[in-house]
């Protein structure tokens, strides 16, 4: 699972904070690490240097081994830590639902095939 952390041109993210975000991604999405090829985390400050509520934005894009289009989640909060954390929680929930749905479909197919052979 390759993890990329990016920001817009108005925001500089230190190497240490990039590593912290990568650790958060690894921790939150570890269950699916063999099914994910790439994770891109994009953070930006909507208001720049101005203070504002919920102006720290995080957008997460995940590419899976089995499909060509990405799965995305995002969150806006008062801090980058919180926006990254909650965006990753949303992504984990989306992935859980996605893989549960795929598993259920495969079970139904298996049951149909079994019933045809009987």
- How many domains does the chain fold into? 1
Low-confidence ranges of the chain (pLDDT < 50): none
Q: The pTM is what?
A: 0.82
Q: What is the CATH number of the domain that holds 108?
A: 3.30.160.100
42 Cβ contact partners less than 8 Å away, ≥ 6 residues apart: 6, 7, 8, 58, 59, 60, 61
Domain that holds residue 22: 2-117
Token pair for 47: 């208001």
Q: Are 40 and 4 in contact (CB under 8 A)?
A: yes
Residue 116, pLDDT score: 67
Closest CA to 17 of 53, 41, 47: 41
pLDDT in tens, 19-31: 999 999 999 999 9
């Amino acid at each position: 699972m390759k993890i990329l952390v990016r920001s817009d041109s108005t925001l500089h993210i230190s190497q240490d904070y990039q590593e912290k975000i990568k650790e958060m991604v690894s921790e939150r999405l570890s269950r699916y690490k063999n099914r994910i090829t790439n994770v891109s985390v994009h953070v930006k400050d909507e208001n720049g240097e101005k203070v504002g509520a919920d102006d720290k934005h995080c957008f997460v894009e995940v590419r899976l081994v089995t499909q060509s289009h990405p799965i995305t989640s995002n969150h806006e909060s008062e801090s980058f830590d919180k926006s990254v954390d909650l965006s990753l929680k949303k992504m984990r929930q989306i992935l859980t639902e996605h893989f549960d749905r795929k598993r259920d479909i495969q079970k139904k197919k298996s049951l149909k095939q079994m019933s045809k052979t009987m």
